[in-house]
Amino acid sequence: MKVTVKVSARAIRPRLKMTPHDGLVVVVPAGFDKKQVPSLLLRHEVWIRKVEAELEAQRQEALAVSEEGLPRMIAFPHFAQSWEVEYMQTAIGEGKIKEQHQNSLLVSGDVADRVLCQRLLHSWLKHRAKVTLLPSLERMAAAHQFDYAEGKVRLQHSRWGSCTSRHTITLNTKLLFLPEHLLSHIMLHELCHTVHLNHSASFWGLVQQHDPLWRRNNKEMKSAWKYVPQWVSAQL
């Protein structure tokens, strides 16, 4: 495993983090004896192996695409859903997508047409978002005592969510691929906008009440696109 040691003037104590690109990073305060790193890793071996396995699973999922860049497997980790995708060539110029038994998808038609297949898959993603994300939003609102008028989903390029002055909340379909804590963070952010339709101090104070780790989550959201498969974000 790749291990990198970084010295941080702001660090008070050693901490570990792991990313798909950087591997395992050990952040230590200035003056820390680097000879202690091996024993530090040994103490956190269980956590390291767990996160390593999760990242490997994500890497394998990313590789599960056809030569045309189309998915052979679609997984929504937080919702414990995994869909196998089968492509069947039929009539030229036509296309259908159908959910089959045991969480499998059948894409039929001119499957050699990559754009057609992507459109069908995007349409299916919006359907899954409606039946999966919107009930989650409703439960989140009830648990935190928020009221909103309507929930919608859209496959958006850059915005994870939005809330209008009429309290209509729109969620990005791509949220299906995010871990639980980031999904909750976005939902709570938009629900707080039903009270404060701005980013004032009052708004962030409300966010703090419902999402105490919002600063960490907000920072992590800057790289959250890494969870979204490339075929989902590809422009048609």
Q: Is-contact 55 33, C-beta < 8 A? A: no
Percent of the chain having pLDDT more than 90?
64
Strand segments, DSSP code E, in the chain are 3-8, 15-19, 23-29, 73-76, 81-89, 95-100, 104-109, 150-154, 161-163, 168-172
Residue where a domain terminates, one of 59, 76, 102: 59
> Would you say residue 126 has pLDDT above 70?
yes
Query: What would the pLDDT profile of 136-173 be if each residue is shown by its tens digit?
Result: 999 999 999 999 999 999 999 889 999 999 999 999 99
Does one domain contain both 80 and 35?
no
Query: What would the pLDDT profile of 18-53 be if each residue is shown by its tens digit?
Result: 876 567 889 999 999 989 999 999 999 998 888 887
Does one domain contain both 105 and 90?
yes
Does one domain contain both 155 and 215?
yes
- Per the structure, the count of domains in the chain is 2
Does one domain contain both 38 and 121?
no
Query: What would the pLDDT profile of 194-216 be if each residue is shown by its tens digit?
Result: 999 999 999 999 999 999 999 99
Does one domain contain both 97 and 47?
no
Q: What is the pLDDT of residue 94?
A: 79
Q: What is the pLDDT of residue 190?
A: 98
> Would you say residue 235 has pLDDT above 70?
no
Task: Tell me the residue range of the domain where 162 lies.
Answer: 64-233
Q: What is the pLDDT of residue 66?
A: 59
Average pLDDT value for residue range 186-190: 98
Residue where a domain terminates, one of 19, 35, 59: 59
Does one domain contain both 71 and 178?
yes
Q: Give the C-alpha separation, 14 to 6, whole Å.
A: 10
Q: Is-contact 18 25, C-beta < 8 A? A: yes
Does one domain contain both 16 and 91?
no
- 17, β-bridge pairs: 25
Does one domain contain both 203 and 218?
yes
Q: Give the C-alpha separation, 176 to 235, whole Å.
A: 19
Q: What is the pLDDT of residue 177?
A: 94
Q: Which residue has the higher pLDDT, 130 or 59?
A: 130
Does one domain contain both 21 and 117?
no
Residue where a domain terminates, one of 19, 43, 59: 59
Does one domain contain both 135 and 216?
yes
Does one domain contain both 38 and 118?
no
| Tokens matching residue 189 | 């952010």
